[in-house]
Amino acid sequence: MSEGFREGDFSVTPWEAKGKIDYDKLIQEFGVEKLGEELLSRIERIAGGLHPLLRRNFFFAHRDLNLVLNDYEEGRGFFLYTGRAPSNSPMHIAHIVPFIATRWFQEKFGANVYIQIPDEEKFLAKKVETLEEIEKYAVQDILNIIALGFDENKTFIFRDTEYISKLYKPAVLVARHINFSTARAVFGFDNESTIGLIFYPALQIVPTFFEKKRPLIPCGIDQDPYFRLQRDIAPRLNRYKAAEVLSKLVWGLKGPETKMSASEPDTAILLSDPPETVKRKIINAYTGGRATVEEQRRLGGVPEVCTVFHWYSVLFEDDDKKLLERYHACRTGKLLCGECKAELVERINSFLERHRARVKDAEKKMHLYLYDGKLAQEMWNWEYRP
Amino acid sequence: MSEGFREGDFSVTPWEAKGKIDYDKLIQEFGVEKLGEELLSRIERIAGGLHPLLRRNFFFAHRDLNLVLNDYEEGRGFFLYTGRAPSNSPMHIAHIVPFIATRWFQEKFGANVYIQIPDEEKFLAKKVETLEEIEKYAVQDILNIIALGFDENKTFIFRDTEYISKLYKPAVLVARHINFSTARAVFGFDNESTIGLIFYPALQIVPTFFEKKRPLIPCGIDQDPYFRLQRDIAPRLNRYKAAEVLSKLVWGLKGPETKMSASEPDTAILLSDPPETVKRKIINAYTGGRATVEEQRRLGGVPEVCTVFHWYSVLFEDDDKKLLERYHACRTGKLLCGECKAELVERINSFLERHRARVKDAEKKMHLYLYDGKLAQEMWNWEYRP
């Protein structure tokens, strides 16, 4: 999965990503619901707290999240589903956002998590030249995901080419309900799209049927089209429509709502970036600072358009009070960009260092998520039942 | 697989079938080669004989059959590939023609045979309502196929939904080389085609890569488009282009080059038809007979347009001398339609009776073709290697 937005009419497809976003307009256009105070309070009451990504409205919209909470409170439960398409673009900071949210929901609600690794998608989309190449990236991505702390007995990570024996039959049931017109309209396919890529949406929908419970999908709003289609099809297969909790885009380092892209390395921090690279990238990041130190002392910075402040708010400052202090220190010219950036560099590098240690650890535990953990074992015996 | 021809421009797709056929025009249009005397003599020399379907030019065209014979004579060998898509239309007499030819080539050349049972195709094409329904028909079809006498250690029969774990990865490699434009042009897909059916051609191509030898496919000429596409793709995957030996259409009971269709029962003899049904159908068959007995005695019949004579020539009279005698007896008015039909009824019923006994026997041997025979065991351990 990738995140992306098309310019102009705000139409959003998972295949392309450009331009600025009016999220209120997107809510209207996508027909999703705003994730408002009332629902957030309800989550907070049940979970005993709110993750900063929810509290700060980075997850800003949803579908049926209220029903998910009903299911939870009334004992029916729910499950979580997310994914990551491996490619030669390695994982960057923005990629971990849906996984962080998924992990949080797992921890607070004790729900099973299913993570799809479509190890054919980028090959079929002609972004990668061989399946062998993807294999290497798939393992790296899986380790990065495991390192984020999922429960090894409640999480199943599966590669399409490996798990296809279980996926294909339900995918056929799904595929019968999707014709080329619909696929073209939803995913932007055209005459040049390969027939494998055209089929792929069916495989992405199948995991929403892994349990006879409501699936909740934390994802970037660009992924919504897939699951809108799922919501059309699910009732016809007598299954739950997918619920979603939808995030904004993490800004790239080039400015507000620019894309973070692993293929343009200076827009993103990769999980594999060494400390010096992180430093160089953050020093060059677009900020809300003024042209000169004197001017900034006098007028203050503009954190609202600052990528550095954005990154603090999304991932690198959990403490609301401290975030607010940083905001005011910037606005009043007390905090200059150099200092603010240096602190961010430190936090990112410290996060990446800990992350890499957890990746090392994940190498030993990977078999649990793929084959041997409680849920993984169950899923290798799973059969789709109508 | 189904056979079929579109009216008008003689374009032929596996999805539709109507109209009369000019086979010489088809040879030109499809760019295939005529199966001529020289090649037939060469086959006869190697095989020690010619099957009537070859001898009588019912298999009338080919691609690379000369290269197949080179491969055989020079010790590289070849393998055979065919298939049958199960549906609620049960197998009829015409369906067994490619299998008879395949079995003959296996017997004479000792080649392995792979038989694909695409147990999702008719569901995706919306000809059948559930996969469960197909399951039932698939077993019946497999038994009918086994009953035709394939070598249990050199034949592997596989259902797509069951064997997909081995098929999907090479199908992805194939699918990357087929875009929607091509698929639409070759198979007549349109905006209403389901995305599963659009993907399916990739799965049909994969078995041509089961061995690193040349695959030979005996089939109706309507199946050629699939394999023409295979011939475009194979060199890019460093594999052999499929060779084909291509048959005409067995006439339905309504007249010359009408379609035999299980969904219009009076056009076809089903393998499951009881003797009385066979009798009724043949008695009502279109013949080259005259309006009255007197006229027929005087003018003779026209075997060239007679479905009864056609069926003798294709399947129910192996002896060339006797077939010629029947031809002359008809032309000279000595043999009347009633007698000729009665004999055919007897031959068909005797064939069907023996066939059903062999189907009974096949029930006990089915596991060998699917899982436990020498080739089947090998194929369950097979992995596609680039």
Q: What digits encode the pLDDT tens for the residues A180-191?
A: 999 999 999 999
Residues of B in contact with A181 (CB under 8 A): 191-192
Domain coverage including residue A274: 265-358
CA distance A376 to A156: 5
With CA atoms as reference, the chain A residue closest to B180 would be A191
User: B67-117: per-residue pLDDT in tens?
Assistant: 999 999 999 999 999 999 999 989 999 999 999 999 999 999 999 999 999
In a domain, A318, yes or no: yes
Q: Does residue A59 belong to the interface with chain B, where contact is any CB pair within 8 Å?
A: no
- Tell me the two tokens of residue A173: 């049931």
Q: What is the number of structural domains in chain A?
A: 2
Q: Which of A163, A192, A195, A385 is the best substitution to test chain B (most B C-beta atoms within 10 A)?
A: A195
Q: Does residue B191 sit within a domain?
A: yes
Q: Which residues of A touch B185 (CB under 8 A)?
A: none
pLDDT at A222: 85
SS3 at position A33: strand
Residue count of chain A: 386
A68 and A89, same domain (yes or no): yes
Token output for A48: 């005993």
B123 interaction partners in chain A (CB closer than 8 Å)? 172, 176
Nearest to B226 by CA among B116, B142, B129: B116
In Å, what is the CA distance from B369 to each residue of B161, B223, B233? Answer: 16, 24, 29
Beta-carbon separation of B161 and A175 below 8 A: no
Interface test with B, best of A130, A132, A172, A206 (most B CBs within 10 A): A172
Residues 6+ positions from B334 with CB-CB distance below 8 Å: B328
Residue (of A382, A384, A374, A380) closest to A155 by Cα position: A374
Query: Are the C-beta atoms of residues A241 and A234 closer than 8 Å to each other?
Result: yes
- Does A183 contact B192 at a Cβ distance shorter than 8 Å? no
**Residue B260 phi, psi dihedral angles, 5° rounding:** -90, 120
Q: CA nearest A127 in B: which residue?
A: B176
Give contacts of A 121-140 with B, CB under 8 A. 123-124, 126, 131
- pLDDT surpassing 80 at residue A56: yes
CB contacts of A173 in chain B (<8 Å) are: 131
Give the mean model confidence (pLDDT) for residues A192-218.
Answer: 97
Residue B16 belongs to some domain of the structure? no
Label each residue of chain B as H, E or C.
CCCCCCCCCCCCECCECCCCCCHHHHHHHHCCEECCHHHHHHHHHHHCCCCHHHHCCCEEEEECHHHHHHHHHCCCCEEEEEECCCCCCCCEHHHHHHHHHHHHHHHHHCCCEEEEECCCHHHHCCCCCCHHHHHHHHHHHHHHHHCCCCCCCCEEEEEHHHHHHHHHHHHHHHHCCCEHHHHHHHHCCCCCCEHHHHHHHHHHHHHHHCCCCEEEEEEEHHHHHHHHHHHHHHHHHCCCCCEEEEECCCCCCCCCCCCCCCCCHHHCCECCCCHHHHHHHHHCCCCCCCCCHHHHHHHCCCHHHCHHHHHHHHHHCCCHHHHHHHHHHHHCCCCCHHHHHHHHHHHHHHHHHHHHHHHHHHHHHHHHHHHHCHHHHHHHCCCCCC
The answer to whether the Cβ–Cβ distance between B176 and A191 falls below 8 Å is no
Residue of A nearest to B201 (CA): A195
Q: Do A179 and B164 touch (CB under 8 A)?
A: no
Alpha-carbon distance B377 to nearest alpha carbon in chain A (angstroms): 18
Question: Does the pLDDT of residue B11 top 60, yes or no?
Answer: no
CB atoms near residue B153 (< 10 Å): 16
CATH label of the domain that carries residue A290 = 1.10.240.10
pLDDT score recorded for residue B263:
79
What's the CA gap between A57 and A226, in Å, rounded?
23
Claim to verify: residue A152 and residue A219 sit in the same structural domain:
yes
Q: What residues are paired with A115 via a beta bridge?
A: A82, A157
B172/A198 CB distance under 8 A: no
> B168 at the A interface (CB within 8 A)?
yes
Structural domain contains residue A3: no
Q: What is the three-state SS of A281-326?
A: HHHCCCCCCCCCHHHHHHHCCCHHHCHHHHHHHHHHCCCHHHHHHH
> Are residues B277 and B207 part of one domain?
no
User: Under an 8 A CB cutoff, do A193 and B179 touch?
Assistant: yes
Run of H or E including A375: helix A374-380
Lowest pLDDT segment from A55-69, B220-234, B235-249: B220-234
- For A226, the 3-state DSSP assignment is helix
Nearest to A202 among B126, B193, B196 (CB): B196
Q: Are residues B278 and B193 both part of a single domain?
A: no
CATH number of the domain that A76 lies in?
3.40.50.620
Burial degree of A57 (CB within 10 A; 0-12, 13-18, 19+):
middle
Question: Does A241 map to a domain?
Answer: yes
Task: Categorise residue A90: left if φ over 0, alpha if ψ from -120 to 50, beta otherwise.
Answer: beta
Report chain B residues whose CB lies below 8 A from the CB of A202: 195-196
Distance (Å) from the C-alpha of residue B134 to the closest C-alpha of chain A? 12
User: Domain boundary residue among B253, B286, B306?
Assistant: B253
Question: Which of the residues B126, B134, B195 would you substitute to probe the A interface, choosing the one with the greatest number of A C-beta atoms within 10 Å?
Answer: B195
Count of CB atoms situated within 10 Å of the CB of A194:
25
Identity of the residue in B120, B160, B172 whose CB atom sits nearest the CB atom of A123: B172
Residues of A in contact with B127 (CB under 8 A): none
Confidence of residue B264 (pLDDT cuts 50, 70, 90): confident
Structural tokens at position B237? 């995957």
Question: C-alpha distances in angstroms, A262 versus A82, A145, B234?
Answer: 20, 17, 34
CB contact under 8 A, A180 and B172: no
| Confidence tier at A256 by pLDDT (50, 70, 90) | confident
Closest-CA distance of chain B to residue A380, Å: 13
Q: Is the pLDDT of residue A383 over 90?
A: yes
Residue A39 lies inside a defined structural domain of this protein: yes
Under 8 Å CB pairs connecting chains A and B tally to 113
- B133-164 confidence digits (pLDDT tens): 999 999 999 999 999 999 999 999 999 999 99
CA distance B264 to B268: 7
Asked whether residue A211 falls in the same domain as residue A276, the answer is no
Phi, psi of A373 (to 5 degrees): -65, 170
CA B125 to chain centroid: 20
The pLDDT tens digits of the residues spanning A290-313 come to 999 999 999 999 999 999 999 999
Are A279 and A341 part of one and the same domain? Answer: yes
Asked whether residue A213 falls in the same domain as residue A282, the answer is: no
For the segment A247-262, the average pLDDT, to the nearest whole number, is 88
ipTM for the predicted complex comes to 0.90
Residue A337 within a domain: yes
Domain match, A218 and A270 both: no
Burial class (CB in 10 A: 0-12, 13-18, 19+), B47: middle
- Helix (H) / strand (E) containing A220: strand A214-220
Closest Cβ opposite residue A172 in set B124, B180, B201: B124
pLDDT at B20: 65
Mean pLDDT of chain B: 92
- Segment holding A344, helix H or strand E: helix A337-367
Domain final residue pick, A230, A253, A276 = A253
Is position B314 within any domain? yes
| Contact flag B195-A184 (C-beta cutoff 8 Å) | no
Same domain, A173 and A291: no
B180–A201 CB contact, under 8 Å: no
Domain end residue (candidates: B196, B224, B253): B253
Distance of residue A271 Cα from the nearest chain B Cα, in angstroms:
29
pLDDT confidence tier of residue A20, bands split at 50, 70 and 90: low
Is the pLDDT confidence value at B32 over 90? yes
Q: With the C-alpha atoms ordered A327, A98, A69, A223, is the resulting torsion angle positive or negative?
A: positive
**Residues A126 and A197 both lie in one domain:** yes
Over pLDDT 90: what percentage of chain B? Answer: 87
Handedness of CA B178, B184, B186, B188 (dihedral sign): positive
pLDDT tens-place string over residues A138-163? 999 999 999 999 999 999 999 999 99
B156 phi and psi, to 5 degrees?
-125, 120
Compute how many other C-beta atoms are within 10 angstroms of the C-beta atom of residue B9: 8
* pLDDT top residue among B19 and A333: A333
pLDDT of B191 over the 60 cut: yes
Q: How far is B161 from chain A (nearest CA, A)?
A: 6
A375 vs B288: CA distance, rounded Å: 69
A2 pLDDT exceeds 90?
Answer: no
Tokens matching residue B95: 């369906």
Cβ atoms < 10 Å from Cβ of B98: 24
Q: Find how far residue A192's CA is from the centre of its chain.
A: 28
Residues of B (188-227) whose Cβ lies below 8 Å from A = 189-199, 201-202
> In chain B, which residue's Cα lies nearest the Cα of A124?
B176
Find out whether B207 and B375 touch, Cβ atoms under 8 Å: no
Could you tell me the strand order of the sheet in which A59-63 lies?
A: A33-34, A59-63, A243-247, A214-220, A78-83, A113-117, A155-159
A175 closest CB neighbour out of B124, B160, B184: B124
Tell me what pLDDT residue B5 has. 30
Residue identified by tokens 């006797």 is B322
Give the DSSP H/E element, type plus range, for residue A181. Answer: helix A180-187
Q: Assess whether B241 and B297 both reside in one domain.
A: no
Using the predicted structure, report yes or no on whether residue A169 has a pLDDT greater than 70: yes
- Mutating which of A173, A181, A194, A384 best tests the B interface, going by the most B Cβ atoms within 10 A? A194
Among B124, B172, B179, the residue with its CB nearest the CB of A176 is B124
Determine the 3-state secondary structure of A76 from DSSP. coil
Task: Please state at what angle helix B195-205 crosses helix A180-187, rounded to 10 degrees.
Answer: 100
Residues A195 and A318 in one domain: no
